[in-house]
Chains A and B, each alone.
Chain A
Amino acid sequence: MNNFLKVAIFSLLMIGAFTGYSNFGIPQIEPAPPPVEEKLDLGAMTMDQFIALGDKIYHGKGTCTLCHNEMGRAPMLDKIGTVAHERLADPNYKGEATNVEEYLHESFVKPSAYVVPGFGKAGTNDTESPMPDVSAGGIGMSEAEIAAVIAYLQDISGTEVTVAIPTEVPEDTSEEESEGGGRKPYESAEEIIAAFSCGSCHKIAGEEGEMGPDLTHIGALRGKDHLRRSLLDPNVEITEGFMEGMMPDTYGSQLSGKELEMLVEYLAGLK
């Protein structure tokens, strides 16, 4: 019995050590909740808001940044609006697009129509793209969402945004509204700020964080576009005197569209 107890305690201690390390020794990253079909109120959107929606999808549901980043797995898209012309003129281009907007749309749904040299699947000699069809299964972007991302990409390239905001939300037969999600929506900006501990790095809502810029009067210093951009893609513009790569860039997938806008409104109101 004595041996049994010793062995049992030893085993429990070890299991405790692994559990403890998993819970406290590593960052607790909560995976994004299953994507919920959002009701898009397209009729009331301005082009800026539509582009912002594209921004959010690009960094969230679209999972674009998983591959389109500096690691070299997929082409960078920051200049795609201008680069697209060269692609269309390339003798290897076999697709059917005639302008940038069509090219982008084709890249989303038929990525293998044109594979940028060097980025094809190994062994296919750049004829097959590893990119999935974003309108299907795993990512399941609707036409409206695709249009929003195209608008976003044209915008960040500094070229003209030619996409028109769809007037109707097309019937999306690929997914029903799912009830599963894992957490209740946040009711107020203050709730979000508390949940994500913004105050641990910023001066905001009574907290005195010093790692990031002081947000107490940020509404007077920055416009909504900047605020939204800072939440979705913080490293695009770093305020003077602060370090790059410090602020998490996952809020785009952790907050719903409504919650994001709520937070932006709140920050814009801090004058």
Chain B
Amino acid sequence: MQNRNSKTIYGALFIAVFALFLLPSLVPGFDASLAFADEAAVSAAAEAEATTYPPAPKLTAADYPTIPGVNSRVTVWLAAQLHLWFGAFVLAVPIFVFIIEAIGMATRDKRYDNMAYEFIKVSITAYSLTAILGGLLAFSLILFYPDLFRYLSTIFKESMFVYALLFFAESAVLYIYYYGWNWLQGGFKKWVHLTLGLLLNATGAMLMFMANSWTTFMMSPAAVDAAGVFNGDSWAAIHNFLWNPINIHRVIANVAYGGSIVGAYAAFKFLSAQNKDQRAHYDWMGYNANFIAIAALLPLPFAGYYLTAEMYAYSQQMGITLMGGVFAWIFIIQAVLIGALFLSANYYLWCGMGRSEGAHRYNPYMKYLAVVIVGSFLVWFTPHTLVLTNAELKSLGGPYHAILGPLGIMPAKNTAVNLLILFTFLSFMFYRRANKTATVSWAAQGNAVQAALFTAGIINIFILGVYYGYFTNTVYKVAASIPQVLTTLVIIVVSVVIDSFMYKGAKQVAPLHWGRVPARSQYALFLLAVSFTWLMGLMGYVRSGIRQHWHVTNIFRDNSPDAFTPGLGYAANVISVGTIIFMAMVIFVFWLSTVSGRKSTAAGYWKEQGA
């Protein structure tokens, strides 16, 4: 039995390695140092130059096949979005499983290893669903947008072929990694296992980067002329303007998202736990998942900022339409969703304080934190332009509220979000401190310094927001947001440093009571997962919608009956339907991971064995 399994596994390992090394030689445009067959690469490149490529076709509505009762655009939209949600999840899980497994190896604490194993178990079914949805997406494109698919596959034929082959590697590595978990334990074998985890991440990332290039090509085409004629340079088409910004953004966002989905899994298992041990286990899992999600959430705005800046650099028009034109309101909704994420993250932390015996020391401060965080959220959320009826306009005397209007503009929002980030960090700091008693002699002074750091920083944030925001001009107003956010970062970094020194050798008040949290804290984790999902759907709408009536921006016009850019309400409805479908599928995935452990004894069903 053992022998047969290991033979299968070695065989799969061979295929994986074979696939990985075969691929570079097939792609002429790849970095030559990777290619085994240099000659093959050179002749392939020469062949590419000799081929003439067609211009982008000019389509009419008749060129778009339809199936009665099926809305082509919504089908592709939902297939793509569902594929992305699942894809994000299955790419994220290996990242933190790798990290958790490594931590387990470093601390020799088997709980980490067990948790990593449980995470990867959850994602196995999700993996096949990702592939199914990818297939649905590909079929939908072929069926409903055949000319577009032909155009893109002509340009990207090599990378699309490699993409398909790479799934052999991805599947092989994933299955060995998962099925071989208990086999590859201890010493050298554990290192092999960890390396497989690394390989899994590398293959997964490569798959995502390739698919990203096709989508970003549609937004910011490269290696094609104004008529859409491809010049043969595959690599140039792949690393178009928006490729790297999307790559970075998606890697970070995937981690945040994956953490939130696993958190929801842990939350549900916590609520249905049968005994104290199970509650403790799932509470611990939820906490770790939440930590991962929030930690990855913090650098995300910068990745998003980079993406938008590159969009502006590629095409001012595209950038302005995104932030100042019809899509501007989307970012208000995004703001609301992010505010909800922060609220739930903080609420979860506050509920979690109850795990510690020493938390009561911080109870008096919690209400102030709550006031600031909720207040900041409300300011963050306050719109500038109001939706008013005629009568309301009259009674208000204008489109802006006299008192709340000034809170609706960017300086107020920037101030609010900086406070939101800062006080969320403070919540986390209190949580970490709750279970420790400092033993250094200068603890009181250290606290004084911390308090001064926060006081000075918060005053600075307010001055930057209020003075430059309301008493200077637009240029100063915008410029002040940079030192404002740097202030927040400085406070966080310096505070962490001070605390790390202050709590060196600190005494633990008592072991944490994992499982001692109210049930409502788990709903904060659900809120996180649902909000994240919906937010991703919203951003997907923006990313695709920014192309407006183009299949490939400025090159290949969309002339289908559904070419119109949908309004926000319509988009929200589609996103919500997608979110519900996704949640249903995820529940199915979670349920499956519990089913495999179940056994039913069917008395009297099977024939009597033996003798």
Q: Which residues of A contact B (CB under 8 A)?
A: 3-4, 7, 10-12, 14-16, 18-19, 21-35, 63, 66-67, 71-73, 121, 130-132, 136-138, 175-176, 178-183, 200-201, 209-211, 243, 245-246
Contact B526 A7, beta carbon cutoff 8 Å: yes
Closest to B475 in A: A72
**Closest residue on chain A to residue B535 by CB atoms:** A18
Complex alpha-carbon distance, A66 and B316, angstroms: 10
Interface residues on B, range: 35 or more
The yes or no answer to B216 lying at the interface (CB within 8 A) is no
> Hey, which chain A residues are within 8 Å of B579, CB to CB?
15
The answer to whether B530 and A31 touch across the interface, beta carbons within 8 angstroms, is: no
CB–CB B60/A27 < 8 A: no
Chain A residue with Cβ nearest B537: A18
Find out whether the CB atom of B555 lies under 8 angstroms from the CB atom of A28. Answer: no
Instruction: List the B residue with the shortest CB-CB distance to A201.
Output: B390
Interface CB pairs A-B, < 8 A, 5: A28-B569, A34-B563, A67-B317, A137-B553, A180-B564
B316, A34: Cβ atoms closer than 8 Å: no
Give the docked Cα–Cα distance between A34 and B560 (Å): 10
What distance in Å separates the Cβ of A224 from its nearest Cβ neighbour in chain B?
27
Taking A3-B271, A15-B530, A66-B321 as contacts, is the C-beta distance between A176 and B60 under 8 angstroms? yes
Produce 1/0 per residue, B550-585, CB < 8 A to A. Answer: 100111011111111111110111001001100100
A3 and B390 contacting across the interface, CB-CB below 8 Å: no
B390 x A137 contact (CB < 8 A): no
- The CA of A183 and the CA of B562, in the complex, are separated in Å by 11
Residues of chain A within 8 A of B559, CB atoms compared:
34, 176, 178-180
When C-beta atoms are compared, the residue in chain A nearest to B398 turns out to be: A243
Most buried by B among A3, A201, A210, A243: A3
- Whether B534 lies near A18 (C-beta < 8 A) is yes
* A183 cross-chain contacts in B, Cβ below 8 A: 564
Q: Which residues 361-395 of B sit at the A interface, judged by CB distance below 8 A?
A: 383, 385, 387, 389-390, 393-394
Given contact pairs A18-B333, A18-B576, a sample of 15 additional A-B residue pairs in the complex whose CB atoms are under 8 Å apart: A3-B268, A15-B576, A18-B572, A19-B573, A29-B329, A29-B567, A31-B548, A34-B549, A71-B324, A131-B316, A132-B316, A176-B58, A176-B60, A180-B61, A183-B564
Q: Whose C-beta in chain A lies nearest to the C-beta of B336?
A: A21
* Contact between B554 and A136, CB atoms less than 8 A apart: yes
Smallest beta-carbon distance A7→chain B, Å: 6
Q: B123: CB under 8 A from chain A?
A: no
Neighbouring A residues of B383 by C-beta, 8 Å: 26
**Is B326 located at the chain interface by the 8 A CB criterion?**
yes
**Is B517 on the interface with A (CB-CB < 8 A)?**
no
Cα separation A183 to B565 with both chains bound (whole Å):
12
Which of A22, A138, A181, A182 is close to B572, meaning CB atoms less than 8 Å apart? A22
- Chain B hits for A67, CB < 8 A: 316-317, 320
Q: Are A180 and B329 in contact, with the CB atoms below 8 A? A: no
- Known A15-B580, A181-B564; contact A26-B549, beta-carbon cutoff 8 A: no
* B439 contacts partner chain A, Cβ-Cβ < 8 Å: no
Q: How far is the CA of A210 from the CA of B397 in the complex (A)?
A: 12
Question: Do A180 and B398 touch across chains, with their CB atoms under 8 A apart?
Answer: no
A205 to B119, CA, bound (A): 65
Q: Mark B14-25, 1 if CB is under 8 A from A, else 0.
A: 000000000000
Which 9 pairs show the lowest CB-CB distances between chains A and B? A137-B554, A182-B564, A22-B572, A34-B549, A180-B563, A31-B565, A23-B569, A179-B61, A138-B554
| A-B residue pair count with CB separations less than 8 angstroms | 154
- The verdict on A19 contacting B572 (CB below 8 Å), with A34-B549, A180-B61 known, is yes
- Interface flag for B527 (CB, 8 Å): yes
Give the complex CA separation of A136 and B325 in angstroms: 21
> Which A residues lie within 8 Å of B555 (CB)?
137
Instruction: State in angstroms the CA–CA spacing of A26 and B572 once bound together.
Output: 12
Verify if B399 is at the interface (C-beta below 8 Å from A).
yes
**B 251-292 binary contact with A (CB < 8 Å = 1; else 0):** 000000000000000001001100000000000000000000
Contact A180 B558 (CB under 8 A): yes
Binding site for A on B (CB under 8 A): 58, 60-61, 226, 268, 271-272, 313, 315-317, 320-321, 324-326, 329, 332-333, 336-337, 383, 385, 387, 389-390, 393-394, 398-399, 474, 523, 526-527, 530-531, 534, 545, 548-550, 553-555, 557-569, 571-573, 576, 579-580, 583, 587
CB distance from A139 to the nearest CB of B (A): 8
Q: Quick one: given A10-B523, A180-B562, A210-B390, are A138 and B268 in contact (CB under 8 Å)?
A: no
A66 — which chain B residues lie within 8 A by C-beta? 317, 320-321, 324-325
Query: In chain A, what residue has the closest Cβ to B383?
Result: A26
Which B residues are in CB contact (< 8 Å) with A3?
Answer: 268, 271-272
Which of chain A's residues has its CB closest to B332's CB?
A: A26
**CB pair B60 A178 closer than 8 Å:** yes
Q: Are A180 and B560 in contact (CB under 8 A)?
A: yes
The distance in angstroms between the C-alpha atoms of A209 and B583, with both chains bound, is 46
What's the nearest-Cβ distance from chain B to residue A201, in Å? 6
Q: How far is B408's CA from A127's CA once the two chains are assembled, in angstroms?
A: 38
Whether B567 pairs with A28 at a CB distance below 8 angstroms is yes
Shortest distance in angstroms between A129's beta carbon and chain B's nearest beta carbon? 10
Docked complex Cα distance between A66 and B572 (Å) = 25
Nearest CB in chain A: distance from B449 CB, A: 40
A181 to B563, CA, bound (A): 7
Please report the C-alpha to C-alpha distance between residue A18 and residue B337 in the assembled complex, in whole angstroms: 8
Q: Report yes or no: B530 in contact with A11, Cβ–Cβ below 8 A.
A: yes
| Assembly CA distance A211 to B398 (angstroms) | 10
Q: Report yes or no: A14 in contact with B390, Cβ–Cβ below 8 A.
A: no
In the complex, what distance in Å separates the CA atom of A26 from the CA atom of B564? 20
Nearest CB to that of B385 among chain A residues? A27
Nearest Cβ on chain A to B559's Cβ, whole angstroms: 5
Shortest CB distance B476–A (Å): 13
By beta carbon, the residue of chain A nearest B576 is: A19
Q: Identify the closest chain B residue to A178 (Cβ).
A: B559
Taking the closest CB of chain A, its distance from the CB of B544, in whole angstroms, is 13
Given contacts A26-B383, A27-B329, A180-B549, contact A14 B557 (CB under 8 A): no
Q: Does A23 lie within 8 Å of B268, measured CB to CB?
A: no
A200 and B389 in contact, given A21-B333, A130-B316 (Cβ under 8 angstroms): yes
Chain A residues within an 8 Å CB radius of B550: 138
Residue from A22, A121, A132, A209 in contact with B568 in the complex, judged by beta carbons closer than 8 Å: A22
Alpha-carbon distance between A63 and B321 when the two chains are bound, in angstroms: 10
**Chain B residues within an 8 Å CB radius of A4:** 268, 587
Chain B residues in 8 Å Cβ range of A132: 315-317
**Contacts of A137 on B, CB cut-off 8 Å?**
226, 553-555
Q: How many Å lie between the Cα of A24 and that of B385 in the bound state?
A: 14
CB A22 to nearest CB in B, in angstroms, measures: 3
B333 touches A7 (CB 8 A): no
By a CB distance below 8 angstroms, the chain B residues around A24 are 387
Cβ–Cβ contact A22 & B58, under 8 A: no
A196 to B60, CA, bound (A): 30
List chain A residues, Cβ under 8 A from B562: 180
A137 CA to B552 CA, complexed, in Å: 10
A22 and B333 contact, Cβ closer than 8 Å, known pairs A14-B527, A130-B316, A211-B394: yes
Residues of A within 8 A of B321 (CB): 66
Instruction: Assess the B226–A29 pair: CB atoms within 8 A.
Output: no
- In the complex, the chain B residue whose C-beta lies closest to that of A20 is B572
CB distance from A155 to the nearest CB of B (A): 25
**Residues in A neighbouring B534, C-beta threshold 8 A:** 14-15, 18
Most buried by A among B316, B387, B573: B316
Question: How long is the Cα–Cα vector from A50 to B332 in the complex, in angstroms?
Answer: 40
Within the complex, which residue of A11, A23, A179, A243 is in contact with B573, where a contact is CB–CB below 8 Å? A23
Instruction: For A63, list chain B residues within 8 Å (CB).
Output: 317
* Contacts A179-B60, A201-B390 given; does A31 touch B564 at CB 8 Å: yes
| Complex Cα spacing A201 to B268, Å | 52
Residue of B nearest to A30 (CB): B567
Contact of A73 among B61, B316, B564 (CB under 8 A): B316
Interchain CA distance A24-B386 in the complex, whole Å: 11
CA distance A30 to B568 in the complex (A): 8
Closest beta carbon of chain A to B282's beta carbon, Å: 12
